[in-house]
A and B are shown apart, each in its own frame.
Chain A
Amino acid sequence: MISIFPSLLNGAVITLQLLVFSMFFGLIIGLIFAILRINKNPIINKFAYGYSYFFRGTPLLVQLYLIYYGLANIEFLRNSFFWVIIKEPYWCAIIAFSLNTGAYTSEILRSAFQTIKKGYIEAAQSLGVTKKITFYRIQLPIAIKQSLPAYGNEIILMLKGTSLASVITIMDLMGEARKVNVLTFKPFEAFITAGIIYLFITFIIHNIIKYLEKKYGFQT
């Protein structure tokens, strides 16, 4: 059990990399689509809704396969410079995870935007604050603070989601555990050790979010 630990830890580093990258891009995508969702234009609105409906209604595995196997099928993508990115399973996984978590994040942020009390915006308007500043200085900070608990859950869900990267040949924590299982025929040692590492990461994320909630949490 001790001898397999270093290789699993190497895998855990890849898992954390995937998580950090996809959470970063996912947050940007989520923010953009949340803003599109609260837009009054029905076409923009519907487009953002369709995006989140598709990515929340289909399994992550389908999305991953669509991007990893499916995009390579399109001729002009293969000839364009995008091919440098989508031929790497690592970047395919990050694209799929980012789009997936972006959809969930946009829903979290949208509901946070919609639960902001009207009084704040009206107060800003009556003080003559411009719309742009109202958004950046009042709506956005409140929305981010309100969505912290839900976003913490999303990070943990995504951590579990990154294990799918092992299916497309990435040697993340799950991939390393599978390799150990194949090499040693000891499924219990391999997967339970990997499970403990996953639980440990979950535990740390959970506590960081709890701390942030306590420090920056928004009381209404």
Chain B
Amino acid sequence: MELLSFGDTGWGDELFFATLMTIAVSIAAMAIGFVFALIFTPLKLSKNKSLNIIGNCYTTIIRGVPELLVIYLLFFGGTGAAMYVASIFGYDGYIEINAFITGALAIGIISGAYSTEVFRGAILSIDKGQFEASKVLGIKKYIQFYKIILPQMLRLSIPNLSNVWQITLKDTSLISVTGLVEIMRQSYIAAGSTRDPLFFYSVAAVLYLMLTFLSMKLINKLEIKYSKGY
């Protein structure tokens, strides 16, 4: 147990901050995923063929290749790409992209693909009469989207988004390969320096279970709150 104590001798505080890091990366990734989803959902639902293809390509490719591949591509390729873009603007120095940003972006792109599918499903399940009624009332397209469709879409997608959140939370463990110190990386370091991998990976497993358990409780509460009146 003293291995988990706080302070210089134990790994308690390190693991605590690593857990916070995991939560931070997950939230950032989820937020980035929302941005991607809000861009690509309209594309997937659009009647324009070429826009449709762009939307479908995004979700199909991202859901068809391993998460690790996206992370490696951004981690190894991101620096080169950023330096190339910078060289166009006349900057030739070395640019290093923060591991947090790379990780959150990679996981965000992945969770965005899942969120897109969730949002698409939610919009399709909204009653057609709502679209027609707002059209009859002469409401503009974007106001219709922001004031009528979006709120309903968010409420309908809470249960499925909780699945996406769980997937995102677990995917963040993969960022450890790029060196960002979250739960997995911290337990790897701790296991290496104490030569007790069984104990530290079990702790990591328990931490992840706690995170998934707590977030499930929280999301259930949200779901009850927002389904009042339905």
Residues on A close to B: CB < 8 A? 53-54, 57-63, 65-66, 69-74, 156, 159-164, 166-167, 174, 177-178, 181, 187-188, 191-192, 194-195, 198-199, 202-203
Q: Is B170 an interface residue (CB 8 A)?
A: yes
| B76–A62 CB distance below 8 A | no
Q: How far is the CB of A108 from chain B (nearest CB, A)?
A: 14
| A177–B69 CB distance below 8 A | yes
| B176–A203 CB distance below 8 A | no
Closest to B67 in A: A160
Binary per-residue interface labels of chain B (147-168) against chain A in the complex, 1 for a CB within 8 Å, 0 otherwise: 0000000000000000000100
| A57–B196 CB distance below 8 A | no
| A58–B170 CB distance below 8 A | yes
| A163–B208 CB distance below 8 A | no
Chain B residue total in the interface (Cβ 8 A): 36
| A57–B209 CB distance below 8 A | yes
| A156–B72 CB distance below 8 A | no
Name the prevailing secondary structure of the B interface residues: helix
| B197–A65 CB distance below 8 A | yes
Q: Across the interface, which residues of A come within 8 angstroms of B177, CB to CB?
A: 167
| A164–B69 CB distance below 8 A | no
Stretch at the interface among B34-42, B96-104, B198-206: B198-206
Residues on B close to A: CB < 8 A? 60-61, 63-69, 72-73, 76-77, 80, 166, 170-171, 173-174, 176-177, 184, 187-188, 191, 196-198, 201-202, 204-205, 208-209, 212-213
Given the known A-B contacts A57-B209, A188-B73, are A70 and B66 also in contact in the complex, defined by CB atoms under 8 Å? no
- Bound-state CA distance A167–B173 (Å) is 12
Q: How far is the CB of B202 from chain A (nearest CB, A)?
A: 7
Of the residues A66, A160, A166, A188, contact of B201 by C-beta under 8 Å? A66
Closest to A164 in B: B68
| A62–B73 CB distance below 8 A | no
Given the known A-B contacts A60-B170, A195-B65, are A178 and B72 also in contact in the complex, defined by CB atoms under 8 Å? yes
| A61–B202 CB distance below 8 A | no
